[in-house]
Amino acid sequence: MKQNDIMNSFLSCLREDSDEYQSLKFPNTTEEQKTLIRSLMNIRMPKAIPEKLLHAQNLYLQEESALKGTIPLSEIPTVRETYNSSHPFADRISIWQGDITRLCTGAIVNAANSQMLGCFVPCHRCIDNAIHSAAGLQLREECNHIMNRKRIQYGRQYEEPVGTAILTDSYNLPCDHVIHTVGPIVHNGLTESLRQDLRNCYESVLNCCMDNGIASVAFCCISTGEFHFPNEEAATIAVETVTNFLTSHADCGIYRILFNVFKDTDKTIYEKILGH
């Protein structure tokens, strides 16, 4: 199938799947159609996914992934190779700037919210939205199943606490797994409790990798966006926590850790910490 046919097929299936948008007209341009697709995916509540919709979605997302291009670990240098870093684990750590959904790692880390269902705001620029949009509707459905089981165990009002790590499949992403963690939200200034919460996020993810035989993981800048954790202190905590974990878990089996940054300011901060 041609790209336009794949996109139109998926749009048609999304429209058929929705009671509210049955009469929705498709926009004319490719970019507008892609925006509409992502918006409809973002607002779809978790529920069973019809086989026809699933097939059309997977074709579309796999085509989109191929157009973006995937990045194998072999193409990402370590900080020793890039900066001649003297960090004790310079051969196992990388800084990589770009779209985390392109990475062919054992896992990528999603900065989730406490509902654990992804971002429902159409085309929001948060990483939670980007990961769910690239993975597909199955990711929200799996997260919903996980949360439903926890609500049976802990009560109907259960929300995922800060600092834990939940492992899911990756679906249409090129990585093997997604690890979801809820970072701390900074409201009225930074406290030691919030710093510890962020440490817990990194430790929980690394323990999840170790427990599940995941050998490479890409961290996003947890809590630094919508959650307002100061970027420089967050990066310092991230590097310190990873360093301490690798020091105390010599046989953890994690041979590569990526600090994935999107903004130039975050890249500069990580280079300052790791590039000497």
> What is the tens place of the pLDDT at every residue in 140-175?
999 999 999 999 999 999 999 999 999 999 999 999
Nearest CA among 118, 197, 107 for reference residue 161: 197
Structure tokens of 258?
A: 């990526």
Q: Which long-range contacts (CB under 8 A, 24 or more apart) does 58-64 make?
A: 58/136, 58/172, 59/1, 59/6, 59/9, 59/10, 60/6, 60/7, 60/9, 60/10, 61/134, 61/135, 61/136, 61/172, 62/172, 63/3, 63/6, 64/134
DSSP code per residue over 136-203: -HHHHHHHHHHHHHHHHHH-TT--PPTT--EEEE-TTSSSSEEEEEEPPP-SSS--HHHHHHHHHHHH
User: What amino acid is encoded at 262 in this protein?
Assistant: F
Average pLDDT over residues 205-226: 96
87 three-class SS:
coil
What pLDDT, in 10s, does the model give residues 11-59? 999 999 988 887 888 888 999 999 999 999 999 999 999 999 999 999 9
Question: Mean pLDDT score of the chain, rounded to an integer?
Answer: 96
Nearest CA among 115, 142, 111, 116 for reference residue 128: 111
Average pLDDT over residues 189-212: 97
Buried b (16+ CB within 10 A) or exposed e, 16-26: ebeeeeeeeee
pLDDT at 6: 93
What pLDDT, in 10s, does the model give residues 65-121? 999 999 999 999 999 999 999 999 999 999 999 999 999 999 999 999 999 999 999
- Say how far apart CA 271 and CA 276 lie, in whole Å: 8
Is 90 exceeded by the pLDDT of residue 4?
no
Structure tokens of 191?
A: 């406290």
Enter the DSSP assignment of 78: -
- Say how far apart CA 82 and CA 271 lie, in whole Å: 10
Nearest CA among 164, 103, 172 for reference residue 134: 172
- Say how far apart CA 37 and CA 95 lie, in whole Å: 32
**Structural contact between residues 217 and 96, judged by C-beta atoms closer than 8 angstroms:** no
pLDDT at 1: 67
Average pLDDT over residues 250-255: 95
223: left (phi over 0), alpha (psi -120 to 50) or beta: left
- Say how far apart CA 139 and CA 129 lie, in whole Å: 11
- Among positive and negative, which fits the CA dihedral 91, 240, 219, 151? positive
- Say how far apart CA 100 and CA 23 lie, in whole Å: 35
